[in-house]
A and B are shown apart, each in its own frame.
Chain A
């Protein structure tokens, strides 16, 4: 389905683009100068959310019911007194790294994923959030979770099953994929088949680095992840994972992945040079698409910079809706595709570093 709004979380504010007569124009700029780790539009009610990462004043959460004209600050997710990341390291919210609504039956439910590794749930539409204790108390957390992308462990992916909203997969860097079937009362580890080449035992049960985890809207048992060690796909609800990367790339290392909302076998990634370099490969930007569940990948470059380019795409900064795609880069470029990624148009070359991109109504 085509969408007419793009929400951006950037290093210098929340920016909303709206499409009028085929042209993308800035509709709203909020929190100018402030880092917005996630800009999120709740599709159930049109509420916009801004997760702020004030350098000085901590993490803040704001909500708008009128497309960003007015915002209300709400209590940020807070770790209970005395909680620790590790023994002797007090736990405090350092970053909100993911946000998801709880589904159309649980209309007041919202989820937040944070650094340092706590998952939070709201049952009152976001007026308050509480730590999901069962995950925080998971016996692996203090001993086997570690930083990845950030200094401390963080939850960057929350995937709610639309068929059963108590069924949720989350992605943790670094720990891996965890699943609950009882709305967060208990958790199972779902890392079978993943590789963690940065660990002494790449086949470890816990310690993986899924950069982002997504599910196919038309078949939520098909999940995809752009992992630190490749692209992985599951066709059995994350029970097992298969590596679907190109062995020699470019579809291999990167941060973002998007899956088509009408085809569980079609997905896009934004390749980056290896974890040692982390720039566009050979100075040129491309998007790769598979139409066959990852058996093969095609590169698309039309309209994207092909020289002297250093952009990479962060994990929340690639989105798909129907035939349209959009992605934002670390150097503030925003690109739009009307044809499933085969060609690209520049929306803006002069934005701040882009952390999150979402299509909205």
Chain B
């Protein structure tokens, strides 16, 4: 079962965020699952067309995902899925 880890920056909006096990088989399923645990978090990560927001990154076991549109990157059963923010802006 993969574990989803979140950037600390999201705790401002979702104070109860913590490392969370997921059972989804695709990234899309995992994010939908996270939205059930933390209602609304998906809209912070994806736009309404389902694309990863421009300044959000997802890493799977330390490697950044390639498919930001369909979120089709595979992950191992015991992988770690890191949801990070890009360090942009000021």
A residues sitting closer than 8 Å to B (CB atoms) are 54-58, 73, 75-76, 78-79, 81-83, 90-93
Tell me if B40 counts as interface (CB < 8 A to partner A).
Answer: yes
Tell me if B47 counts as interface (CB < 8 A to partner A).
Answer: yes
Establish whether residues A92 and B43, one from each chain, have CB atoms under 8 Å apart when the complex forms.
no
Tell me if B63 counts as interface (CB < 8 A to partner A).
Answer: no
A-B contact pairs, 30 of them (CB 8 A): A54-B44, A55-B88, A55-B89, A56-B9, A56-B55, A56-B56, A56-B85, A56-B86, A57-B10, A57-B13, A57-B44, A57-B45, A57-B53, A57-B56, A57-B85, A58-B47, A73-B40, A75-B43, A78-B48, A79-B49, A81-B49, A82-B49, A90-B49, A90-B51, A91-B49, A92-B47, A92-B48, A92-B49, A92-B51, A93-B47
Q: Give min CB distance, B88 to chain A, whole Å.
A: 7
Give the tally of cross-chain contacts (CB within 8 A).
45
Query: A81 — which chain B residues lie within 8 A by C-beta?
Result: 48-50
Known: A56-B86, A79-B48. 16 other contacts (CB 8 A): A55-B89, A56-B55, A56-B56, A56-B88, A56-B89, A57-B10, A57-B13, A58-B44, A73-B40, A75-B43, A76-B43, A78-B48, A81-B48, A81-B50, A91-B49, A92-B51
For B, the interface residue count at a CB cutoff of 8 angstroms equals 19
Q: Compute how far the CA of A73 lies from the CA of B45 in the bound complex, rounded to whole angstroms.
A: 16
Q: Compute how far the CA of A57 lies from the CA of B43 in the bound complex, rounded to whole angstroms.
A: 8
Establish whether residues B40 and A58, one from each chain, have CB atoms under 8 Å apart when the complex forms.
no
Query: A93 — which chain B residues lie within 8 A by C-beta?
Result: 47-48
Establish whether residues A55 and B55, one from each chain, have CB atoms under 8 Å apart when the complex forms.
yes
Q: Compute how far the CA of A75 lies from the CA of B40 in the bound complex, rounded to whole angstroms.
A: 9
Q: Give min CB distance, B72 to chain A, whole Å.
A: 17
Q: Give min CB distance, A333 to chain B, whole Å.
A: 20
Query: A78 — which chain B residues lie within 8 A by C-beta?
Result: 48
**Chain B 40-86 residues near chain A, CB threshold 8 A:** 40, 43-45, 47-51, 53, 55-56, 85-86
Q: Give min CB distance, B14 to chain A, whole Å.
A: 10
Q: Compute how far the CA of A73 lies from the CA of B41 in the bound complex, rounded to whole angstroms.
A: 12
- Chain A residue at minimal CB-CB distance from B57: A56
- Chain A residue at minimal CB-CB distance from B49: A90
Of listed B10, B49, B50, residue having the most chain A CB within 10 A: B49
